[in-house]
């Protein structure tokens, strides 16, 4: 990826400058346009390679979605009641409990005092306010419907919070079982198997194959555990470095959509998020191409984002939304049918909301049955461990008993 230094203008005409990461100059210009920035000058900087960590960002947690939901609802109530925006922001800043959000709100309030728009001030804090958030606020300010926009954002983030909670609940049992298996393997290799190994060696008998395998694995684990830890840590760093590259990120995100059992669930969740975000932007009055770019960015999946950017380019070249959706190859027949009908009737936003609700129900059902589908795999793994341990430990003991009887 390459860093581009840009200078441009916001939708309100104010000057803005900064840096943006993109594959090429055209992609950088598209990202800026999707964020409501008209680029005036783009200069290529140094390519971003290797592991590039910002320690401040590394140890600064993201603002929880629950905090953003509360902020949107409180600001909605104040603006709905007719409280001036500057006064409302000062009150919310003083009562904010999240330090990162409070710092950002203090700077936003200061920019409002200097005459900058709310969207323009929030745009200076991309780690707190996403491009979707800023674009929605910008549309709400320009149309005089800021309160409605804040309510739409609150509902959108509430839906995201509920989906994440359901995923965490569904993954709790498999995570517990896998953690238990890892701990059990560690204890067996370090404490249990070496005791049996020393006992079997004193008898000087030929050990069966399962026992030799267990003893070899235990010795390797005890003697080379430091190297194993170093190899695992190195593999994790190498994987993160690979995922940070554009081809690596796209291949990994594509693999996530094709994983057995979990892949279809992730795909449905992504389609639901895209449909809801796209419909939300269209309802707010954001232009279609900008709505598509923002919806693509909100997915957090590079493979889907690239296909949606190609879809956006096809629409800008004169193609229809439905034909571009078919050519992208990422949508199910249901989504394509809804987009086609919505395009003909002019109600594409309403139909996409129905698609989002449908996929939310599908994801909810998949999450409820996820444990039932993973349980057989976990049972096979545990049963295999028990079988190997039983064969490895009891076979030589039976052999020794036979030798004693003989």
The DSSP result for 5-67, as a single string, is EEEEE-TTS-EEEEEEEESSHHHHHHHHHHTT-EEEEEEEEEE--S----HHHHTSPPPPHHH
Question: Domain boundary residue among 131, 158, 185?
Answer: 158
26-56 tens-digit pLDDT:
667 777 776 777 787 777 765 444 434 444 4
394 falls within a domain:
yes
Q: Check whether residue 219 and residue 103 sit in a common domain.
A: no
Question: Domain boundary residue among 129, 158, 187?
Answer: 158
Task: Name the residue with higher pLDDT: 28 or 103.
Answer: 103
Q: Check whether residue 149 and residue 241 sit in a common domain.
A: no
Q: Residue 404 pLDDT more than 90?
A: no
Task: Supply the pTM of this predicted model.
Answer: 0.66
8 Å CB contact between 163 and 360: yes
Q: Report which secondary-structure segment, H or E, holds 376.
A: helix 348-405
Res 403: pLDDT? 62
Task: Name the residue with higher pLDDT: 152 or 74.
Answer: 74
Percent of the chain topping pLDDT 70: 90
8 Å CB contact between 278 and 268: no
405 falls within a domain:
yes
Range from 40-54, 129-143, 301-315 carrying the lowest mean pLDDT: 40-54
Q: Give the Cα separation of 202 and 149 in Å (integer).
A: 77
320-352 tens-digit pLDDT:
888 888 888 888 888 888 888 888 888 888 888
Q: What is the DSSP letter of 3?
A: E
- Beta pairing partners, 22: 2
8 Å CB contact between 392 and 210: yes
Q: Residue 59 pLDDT more than 60?
A: no
Task: Name the residue with higher pLDDT: 406 or 50.
Answer: 406
What's the CA angle centered on 121, arms 289 and 126, to 5 degrees?
A: 65
> Chain-centre distance of CA 389, in angstroms?
39
Which tokens is 128 given?
Answer: 């707190």
Q: Residue 159 pLDDT more than 50?
A: yes
8 Å CB contact between 348 and 335: no
Q: Check whether residue 264 and residue 235 sit in a common domain.
A: yes
Question: Domain boundary residue among 158, 184, 217?
Answer: 158
Res 400: pLDDT? 67
Q: Check whether residue 24 and residue 72 sit in a common domain.
A: no
Range from 32-41, 163-172, 257-266 carrying the lowest mean pLDDT: 32-41
Res 284: pLDDT? 76
Domain total of the chain: 3
- Beta pairing partners, 39: 8
Give the domain range for residue 214. 171-406
Q: What is the CATH number of the domain that holds 85?
A: 1.20.81.30
Give the residue among 102, 92, 2 at the shortest CA–CA distance from 46.
Answer: 2
54 falls within a domain:
no
């Amino acid at each position: 990826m390459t860093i581009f230094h840009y200078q441009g203008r916001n939708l309100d005409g104010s000057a803005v400058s900064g840096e943006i990461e993109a594959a090429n100059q055209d992609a950088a210009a598209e990202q800026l346009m999707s964020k409501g920035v008209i680029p005036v000058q783009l200069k290529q900087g140094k390519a971003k390679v290797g592991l590039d960590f910002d320690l401040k960002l590394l140890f600064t947690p993201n603002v929880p979605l629950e905090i953003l939901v509360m902020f949107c609802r409180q600001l909605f109530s104040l603006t709905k009641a007719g409280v001036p925006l500057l006064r409302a922001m000062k009150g919310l800043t003083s009562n904010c409990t999240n330090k990162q959000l409070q710092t950002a709100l203090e700077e936003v309030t200061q920019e409002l005092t200097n005459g900058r728009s709310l969207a323009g001030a929030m745009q200076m804090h991309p780690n707190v306010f996403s491009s979707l958030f800023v674009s929605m606020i910008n549309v709400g300010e320009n149309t005089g419907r800021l309160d409605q926009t804040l309510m739409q954002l609150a509902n959108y983030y509430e839906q995201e919070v509920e989906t994440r909670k359901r995923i965490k609940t569904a993954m709790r049992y498999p995570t517990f079982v896998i953690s238990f298996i890892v701990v059990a393997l560690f204890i067996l290799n370090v404490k249990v198997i070496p005791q049996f190994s020393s006992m079997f060696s004193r008898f000087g008998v030929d050990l069966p194959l399962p026992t030799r395998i267990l003893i070899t694995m235990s010795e390797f684990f005890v003697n080379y555990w430091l190297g194993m830890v170093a190899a695992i840590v190195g593999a994790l760093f190498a994987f993160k470095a690979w995922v940070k590259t554009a081809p690596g990120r796209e291949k990994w995100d594509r693999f996530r959509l094709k994983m057995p059992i979990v892949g279809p669930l992730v795909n449905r969740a992504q389609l639901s998020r895209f449909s809801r975000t796209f419909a939300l932007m269209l309802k707010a009055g954001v232009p279609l191409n900008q709505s598509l770019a923002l919806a693509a960015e909100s997915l957090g999946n590079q493979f889907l984002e690239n296909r949606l950017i190609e879809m956006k380019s096809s629409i800008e070249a004169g193609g229809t939304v439905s034909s571009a959706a078919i050519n992208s190859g990422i949508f199910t027949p249901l989504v394509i049918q809804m987009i086609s009908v919505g395009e003909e009737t002019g109600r594409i936003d309403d139909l996409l909301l129905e698609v989002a609700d449908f996929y939310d129900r599908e994801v909810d059902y998949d999450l409820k049955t996820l444990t039932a589908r993973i349980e057989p795999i976990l049972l096979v793994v545990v049963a295999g461990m028990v079988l190997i341990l039983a064969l490895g430990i009891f076979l030589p003991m039976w052999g020794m008993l036979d030798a004693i009887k003989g």
